[in-house]
Amino acid sequence: MRQKHFIDSHKAATGPYVFALIAAYGAWDNVVIWVYLALHGTYGLLWVTKSHFFPDASWEERTTLGYGLLLWLGLSLYWIAPWLIASGNANPVEPWFIGFCVALYTAGIFLHFSTDMQKHLSLKYRPGTLITEGLWGVVRNPNYLGELFVYAGFSLLALSWIPMAALLLVVAAVWVPNMRRKDRSLSRYPEFADYKARTKLFIPYVW
């Protein structure tokens, strides 16, 4: 099996998982968990759609069942927040904070999917060229920045340090090494040195 099969199946399972939590804990009147379901559940479906129509070559590699299950386990860290919310173990949130989380998620969706689409089309129609235009001209990993906004958007709804710690663990252990690895790979392009000098790795104008 390919890595994408494990990743996509987990993304697709998020909506049913959160709904099962709602049913298990009788959280039918919990507005926050329904907002969470709308955000994370929709993101899972959008991811599977993206994977089908403009796949990422890095997820096409074949993998073992053991590594695939490890991927599933790692992605399940993102399921801590809805459990906290549905079970009543999350801290209460103000309406304005829910609005902030939705706005953060929406900005993340735009960044993540628009830049992934640009990358897919650029590699398809201009293979062998370095992508330095659009949002890629500001930061070298705008898709990861968008993904950070997406996950922070619904993880913050639990108003707990645990989901945020899980997110930061994934960023530090998986995302940043991937970004560094990509930089080393792109260094083969003569223009990369100039591109790297005028852009940031992950956070625009900061880092």
For 110-144, how does the pLDDT look when each residue is reduced to its tens digit (9 = 90+)?
A: 999 999 999 999 988 998 889 999 999 999 999 99
The CA distance from 34 to 22, in Å, is 8
CA-nearest of 86, 95, 2, 71 to 40 is 86
Q: Answer for the pair 140, 197: CB distance below 8 angstroms, yes or no.
A: no
Rg (CA), the chain: 18
Q: What is the model's pLDDT at position 56?
A: 77
Q: Which residue would you say has higher pLDDT here, 66 or 187?
A: 187
Q: What is the mean pLDDT of residues 165-180?
A: 94
Q: Answer for the pair 12, 40: CB distance below 8 angstroms, yes or no.
A: no
* pLDDT tier for residue 5 given thresholds of 50, 70 and 90: confident
Task: Share the mean pLDDT of the chain.
Answer: 93
For 152-166, how does the pLDDT look when each residue is reduced to its tens digit (9 = 90+)?
A: 999 999 999 999 999
Report phi then psi at 18, rounded to 5: -65, -40
CA-nearest of 75, 85, 79 to 35 is 85
Express as a percent the part of the chain with pLDDT over 90: 79
